[in-house]
Amino acid sequence: MAVNMSGEVVLAADRERVWAMLNDPEVLKICIPGCETFERDGENAFRAVAKVKIGPVNARFKGKVNLTDIDAPNSYRISGEGEGGVAGFAKGGAAVRLEPAEGGTRLVYDVEATVGGKIAQLGSRLVNSVAKKNADAFFAKFAEAVGGGTIVATEVEAANVATGGMS
């Protein structure tokens, strides 16, 4: 099931510092909720393991993360796919853009992700909320790592449903 989410956060650091942190696997590991490992696996490529906990559900996702469309220090696209065993899979990407802003740097992101398997089959009611929660958690941690900031907005768009027609 698709998740489309966009948002922005103003970070208390200059663009170069934010950019550096966005490319630092150690920082990303700390900020990604439940992340257990985040290791370089080639140029602009990483391997990651993250534990996802949603209420009683516990799943460990293993996968790859790639950085593409790199335009330092302005923007990149971070994308990945992870396998969560019986829980299913998740894949997707985010276009991330940095702009100078009052008091630091504005980070604007636009996420498109899909989840499949049991998570979608059994947990569709929660997918959007969990995605937003994780995005908020990531940026809260990231802002903390950068040295402060505020989440301006996170918006989740309703997933579009193809067939069968409950509306």
How many Cβ atoms from other residues are within 10 Å of residue 136's Cβ? 15
Among the listed ranges 27-35, 55-63, 71-79, 138-146, the one in contact with another protein (CB under 8 A) is: 55-63
Specify the DSSP element, H or E, that contains 138.
helix 118-146
**Binds another protein by CB under 8 A, chosen from 58, 71, 103, 147:** 58
The distance of closest approach from Cβ of residue 5 to another protein in the complex, given in angstroms and rounded to an integer, is: 11
The distance of closest approach from Cβ of residue 2 to another protein in the complex, given in angstroms and rounded to an integer, is: 6
**Binds another protein by CB under 8 A, chosen from 57, 95, 101, 151:** 57
- Does 64 interact with another protein (rule: CB under 8 A)? no
d(CA 61, CA 3): 17
Among the listed ranges 32-40, 42-50, 82-90, 96-104, the one in contact with another protein (CB under 8 A) is: 82-90
Residue 21, both tokens: 């942190």
The distance of closest approach from Cβ of residue 14 to another protein in the complex, given in angstroms and rounded to an integer, is: 31
**Strand, helix or coil for residue 74:** coil
Put residue 88 in one of left, alpha, beta given phi > 0 → left and psi -120 to 50 → alpha. Answer: left
- Does 132 interact with another protein (rule: CB under 8 A)? yes
- Does 28 interact with another protein (rule: CB under 8 A)? no
Between CA 6 and CA 13, with CA 10 as vertex, the angle to 5 degrees is 135
How many Cβ atoms from other residues are within 10 Å of residue 125's Cβ? 8
Bridge partners of 80? Answer: 65, 92
Which residues of this chain interact with another protein, rule CB under 8 A? 1-2, 53-59, 85-89, 114-118, 120-122, 124-126, 128-130, 132-133, 155-156, 158-167
